[in-house]
Chain A
């Protein structure tokens, strides 16, 4: 059954992400791992939510489900008003292509492509002409301060520069959900701060939502809200330091 998207959107209102009772189990029998044990989470549009907690508590699993790369074992997941659990595989691929930007801890740039080509990849996946895609990607890289590194390969860039290319790639197609998994943990303090500033400046906008997984306390200050996880559950959600200064975002 295919519901019209508008009715879904009405059901979730101002929420970019709505997660209810989500569980995720890996393996079976003796080797069963309960990565998520019933998670409820709402992320309104215009918000940067940080997901924190000890290693192995299920942060990556949760954002993978929200980003549509992983299917939950049970529960409801509605993103941008679309029911991800019921969504077929082909539609999910297109959902990710059109709506999701990814920033990974390991950058995951294509080593054979230049910075501009890497940043252009989501547009190329969406079927843009190569020259157009690279032009748009180059513009973003320029705003990220990499205007003189467009033709460099990732191996010729520093870690901070690579992560900025990854951010350009995550944002080039103007996705409405940005998912960042430990974007700063491979970077030094200075580059980590620059990275978070860029994400905040470009990605946090009305009609969009950003989820950042981190255990880097230095970047907590950028959060509107901080959700703490433990052992597959969200144990607390607090307003972040950033919250008080951002009155435009509805709570």
Chain B
């Protein structure tokens, strides 16, 4: 009987497309918006992810996310090093500086200072120059998006100079880097140099990056660091989630996306539900005839539900497919954040399931109460 239901559904081409359109609309909007949201969240944590290597980030107790810099005094490095279970620990500078270009204009940049000895936290995607050159005097590495922003339309060229805080900087390499939320250029340099490039401050140590000793869980080492130093110590993943949580809780971003997603849900449900109901009403005599001929209400219910699930699956596939195509087509083209993890697909699937269930409720009510005797009426 279910294939009869499907044939009824597909046989009514206009209504069928209308219902599917409603579901596609909702699935596309939800998946696209959720992916954009995830992409934005990914931007907020890009610098944690790019600083590959150390698993533990130590910072001031009050730090809430990665761009929330509350400098420590330099001596904290040694206190962290003294915690049992810490294999090694290095300094990491993160701040904002102003670059003064050759022609005299200024550009705001993100300044990252890596431990002079080990260069822990160095960028992984250097495609021009070399990381070793960072040890030369005044040396800096810039990310490619930043290069294009500072010198738009110009070919990549190392050896270029600019000034930060009246100190000369020499470009020794260009790297790929994950985009940041503000999409400022990212300048990598040694720690000792970074503190000179940055506006002068009494305390300058942004983070201590630490690695746990073999066999000691990171979480345990974090606990010990916190107990012994009174600082905040987070694993790589914890810091990522703390940052995301901050944006979720303290900014309007999730609310705005939530509203769009909710509107997509509502509009999709309205379109799909209304068209589905019209479809059911149009076919009510067919359902009546089936009932007269001895189809149970239970079977009728399953038929309507299977119709709903059918449009749900088709609409979901098309909608999510379109969202993915959208993400692919805008990749690199526009600076649009887009990230579609499986959770987005699962959430969209759940939303679509809810939509088709809601959409079919009215129809179900209608077919269940229909009097089989109507088939005798003209």
Q: Chain A residues in contact with chain B, CB under 8 A?
A: 60, 63-64, 67, 69-70, 90, 93-98, 100, 102, 104-106, 108, 110-113, 117, 121-122, 124-126, 130, 181
Contact = CB atoms under 8 A, between A and B. Distances in A.
Given A64-B376, A69-B376, A102-B375, A112 B292 contact: no
Interface string B8-25: 101110000000000000
B3 interface: yes
Given A67-B292, A121-B290, A110 B4 contact: yes
B313 interface: no
Interface stretch (B227-235, B293-301, B343-351): B293-301
Contacts of A181: 376
B4 A111 contact: no
A117 B289 CA distance: 15
A172 B295 CA distance: 16
Contact of B375 (A97, A98, A104): A104
Contacts of B11: 111-112
Contact of B296 (A93, A104, A108): A93
A93 B376 contact: no
Given A69-B292, A96-B293, A121-B293, A130 B12 contact: no
Nearest to A70: B373
B134 to A, nearest CB: 71
A102 B294 CA distance: 11
Given A64-B376, A130-B3, A102 B8 contact: no
A93 B378 contact: no
A70 B375 CA distance: 11
Given A70-B373, A108-B285, A111-B286, 6 more contacts: A69-B372, A102-B375, A108-B288, A113-B4, A117-B7, A124-B4
B333 interface: no
B377 interface: yes
B1 interface: yes
Contact of A125 (B12, B288, B293, B376): B293
Contact of B4 (A93, A96, A98, A121): A121
Contacts of B375: 69, 102, 104, 106, 108
A189 to B, nearest CB: 21
A93 B4 CA distance: 19
Contacts of A125: 1, 290, 293-295, 299
A106 B378 contact: yes
B294 A93 contact: yes
22 contacts: A60-B376, A69-B372, A69-B375, A70-B373, A90-B296, A93-B291, A93-B296, A96-B294, A96-B372, A97-B295, A102-B293, A102-B375, A108-B286, A110-B4, A110-B286, A110-B289, A112-B10, A113-B4, A121-B4, A121-B293, A124-B4, A125-B290
Nearest to B295: A125
Nearest to A64: B373
Which of B291, B299, B371, B372 has the most chain A CB atoms inside 10 A of its CB? B372
Contacts of A97: 293-295
A-side interface mostly: helix
Interface residues of B, number: 28
Contacts of B371: 69-70
A93 B8 contact: no
B376 A104 contact: yes
A105 B375 CA distance: 9
A124 B299 CA distance: 11
Interface in B361-378: 371-373, 375-378
Nearest to A130: B3
Contact of B8 (A63, A95, A110): A110
B221 to A, nearest CB: 65
B1 A108 contact: no
A196 B288 CA distance: 25
Contacts of A69: 292, 371-373, 375-376
A97 B293 CA distance: 5
Given A110-B8, A113-B7, A122 B294 contact: yes
A93 B297 CA distance: 9
Contacts of A96: 292-294, 372
Given A90-B296, A111-B11, A125-B295, A63 B376 contact: yes
A60 B377 contact: yes
A133 to B, nearest CB: 11
A80 to B, nearest CB: 14
Nearest to A95: B294
Interface string B270-310: 00000000000000011011111111110100000000000
Nearest to A96: B294
A106 B297 CA distance: 23
A96 B294 CA distance: 5
A63 B8 CA distance: 28
Nearest to B5: A112
A117 to B, nearest CB: 8
A118 B267 CA distance: 36
A180 B333 CA distance: 68
Contacts of A95: 294
Contacts of A111: 11, 286
B303 to A, nearest CB: 11
Given A60-B377, A70-B373, A100 B286 contact: no
A143 B285 CA distance: 28
A90 B298 CA distance: 10
B167 to A, nearest CB: 78
